[in-house]
Amino acid sequence: MIKLGISAFYHDSAACITNGNIVLAAAEEERFTGIKHDSSFPIKTIEWLLHSLVLKITDIDEVHWYENPETKDDRVKTIFNKRPIKTFFLRRRYNKDRKNNSPEALLQALGYTGKIVYHDHHYSHAAFSYFTSKYRNAAILTVDGVGEWETTTISLGNDKTIKKLISIDFPNSLGMLYSTITSYLGFKPNEGEYKVMGLAPYGDPEIYLQKLQKTLYHTTNKYFIDQKYFTWEYSDRVMLNKKLCQLLDLPPRLPEEPLTQDHKNLAAALQKLYEQEFLKLVKTAKNITGSENLCLGGGCAYNGVANSLAYKYFKSVHIPFAPSDAGSAIGACLDGHNVGISPYLGPYFMDHQVKRVLEDYKDRVWAFKLTEEKLIQKTAELLAAQNIVAWFQDRMEFGARALGNRSILASPMKAKMREKLNYVIKKREGFRPFAPSVILEDADKFFDINEPIPHMNQVVKAKVDFLPAATHIDGTCRVQTVTKSRNPKYYKLLEEVGRITKVPVLLNTSFNLKDETITLSPQQAIERYLSSDIDFLVINNFLIKKL
Ligand SMILES: [Fe+2]
């Protein structure tokens, strides 16, 4: 059965096409529109999916939608009815959006009149995580901002079934609490959370932790968030009120204001609070399922520091490559396991297509096509000699992380590389860390890992001190372990770097410049290469240098 999976209208819209439980292709809409975290109906992705798989919309047997619009409608209207006057304009805007965002109408406009299956938002998160894990029995914990009503669920995955055991509803949301403090610190919610995570190790959590804890209370197995500090029920622009400012006794930071030690302390307290609450949920998941295995899902599963703490209660932890709403497009389609699923599900470009693009830039770059062996050897030498290389190969990654197909690579062995990448190339805040990739076989020589981390979703301690450009201030790294079977070319490159330097580790950051989405096409790759201080560009087996 051919299914089209869709997630849309919150953030990170995405679509995929599956046949049985095999994902044939998938991508996020932002890659095609260039709008970061694009939440619109993923029309461009659907067009690409159909075109690349040589399908017509009438070939689709079923559409699987990642959430249930009726239940979401119930939540929104119930919340509005609590404050009819205060939410008057919000309700008007919502009604208009709801009309424009009807899945039936949008799909009908594409010529699709078949069956649409709606899944619960957190079921799609849980299904994506559990069905892409190697487990046949696992606890599944999903934590995000909000779905329909649910913000947190704990389920038991057993063979092909997922049984929900606990759910926590809006407005009690750890995801929204994290986003609120993110905006308090002057960063954009749903985007700036990574910055807060990066900032946290620079602060002392104790100063604001007790204050932040006042916003939460608990009953057995559940947390609640005191709404007197927040505006989540009646504003979609501001997430906090005066009472929160009084509680924290710190004015909210404006985006361009300097970061003070107080801001760093607040970031540290938020991260600490999140870790404490996350661990309580993990413990509950263990107690009520008795499983040895844990699957994590929902946007909060991008919190790599918290994720690593789950080993306190579980032997094995699985975090899929796109635990946020994008991955739910795939989760909605799966009804059984796909253990070997790879994140490399996006567009790829053949050599003749690359050649054609290179022809247009022949006055600005030279390009040599090498054998794979020679290319790996040459690129490894360039990296070992402290050059920065943009690495564009095969199919684009699905999910927020570049995992070696649309990556900017560099040697992690000198601290100044981090500064060059942050300030000159990515033009981002200096406190943000970069992540290392390492071949799996050697990973535990350099990092304190519990098990393979293929998707860069766990933060672990570095065992060595000679990787300063990819190690955070607290001595931790968000590692990617690379295997020959999953990404043979990237693996060979790491191996060759190891042969030259004795350290098969590379700094791996996504191939994009400030505020851009991850690179999609060879043309975009060359444009970005030309407009930056990246030293070399590699597309397939073409080694490219500015003239
Ligand atoms: Fe979600």
Ligand 1 mean position, distance from CA 8 (Å): 11
Ligand 1 mean position, distance from CA 154 (Å): 14
Ligand 1 mean position, distance from CA 121 (Å): 6
Ligand 1 mean position, distance from CA 295 (Å): 15
Ligand 1 mean position, distance from CA 5 (Å): 15
The answer to whether the beta carbons of residues 186 and 251 sit under 8 Å apart is no
Predicted pLDDT of residue 115: 98
The answer to whether the beta carbons of residues 163 and 156 sit under 8 Å apart is yes
Q: What is the DSSP letter of 440?
A: G
Neighbours of 256 (CB within 10 A): 6
Could you give the 3-state DSSP secondary structure of residue 255? coil
The answer to whether the beta carbons of residues 45 and 106 sit under 8 Å apart is no
Q: How many CA atoms lie within 13 A of 467 on its CB side?
A: 32
Residues whose CB is less than 8 angstroms from the CB of residue 503 and which lie 6 or more positions away in sequence, other chains included:
413, 446, 466, 467, 497
The answer to whether the beta carbons of residues 155 and 135 sit under 8 Å apart is no
CA angle 191, 192, 194 (to 5 degrees): 95
Which burial class, exposed, middle or buried, applies to 311 when counting CB atoms under 10 A from its CB (0-12, 13-18, 19+)?
middle
Ligand 1 mean position, distance from CA 441 (Å): 34
What's the one-letter identity of residue 378?
K
Ligand 1 mean position, distance from CA 166 (Å): 16
Predicted pLDDT of residue 137: 98
Region of residue 400 (phi > 0: left; psi between -120 and 50: alpha; otherwise: beta) = alpha
Place of tokens 């949008």: 106
Neighbours of 228 (CB within 10 A): 11
Ligand 1 mean position, distance from CA 218 (Å): 23
Cα of 536 vs its chain's centroid, Å: 27
Cα 128 to Cα 327: distance, rounded to the nearest angstrom: 7
What's the one-letter identity of residue 481?
T
Predicted pLDDT of residue 236: 80
The answer to whether the beta carbons of residues 40 and 53 sit under 8 Å apart is no
> Pseudo-torsion of CA 375, 348, 132, 173, nearest 10°?
110
Predicted pLDDT of residue 98: 86
Ligand 1 mean position, distance from CA 300 (Å): 9
Could you give the 3-state DSSP secondary structure of residue 334? coil
In the chain the first and final C-alpha atoms are separated, in Å, by: 51
The answer to whether the beta carbons of residues 330 and 26 sit under 8 Å apart is yes
Ligand 1 mean position, distance from CA 204 (Å): 30
Ligand 1 mean position, distance from CA 119 (Å): 12
* 480, β-bridge pairs: 437
Ligand 1 mean position, distance from CA 547 (Å): 46
Ligand 1 mean position, distance from CA 378 (Å): 43
Predicted pLDDT of residue 427: 87
* 219, β-bridge pairs: 222
Predicted pLDDT of residue 97: 87
Q: Taking each helix axis from N to C terminus, what angle separates 372-384 and 488-501, rounded to the nearest 10 degrees?
A: 50
Ligand 1 mean position, distance from CA 150 (Å): 9
Ligand 1 mean position, distance from CA 520 (Å): 24
Ligand 1 mean position, distance from CA 297 (Å): 8
Cα 193 to Cα 269: distance, rounded to the nearest angstrom: 14
Place of tokens 């690409």: 48
Ligand 1 mean position, distance from CA 291 (Å): 24
Ligand 1 mean position, distance from CA 376 (Å): 39
CA distance readout (Å), 185 to 205, 207, 229, 275, 330: 15, 15, 16, 19, 33
Q: What is the pTM of this model?
A: 0.96
* 367, β-bridge pairs: 544
Signed CA dihedral, 129, 18, 14, 340: sign only = positive
Predicted pLDDT of residue 135: 98
Ligand 1 mean position, distance from CA 76 (Å): 16
Residues in the chain predicted with pLDDT less than 70, given as ranges, are none
Predicted pLDDT of residue 502: 97
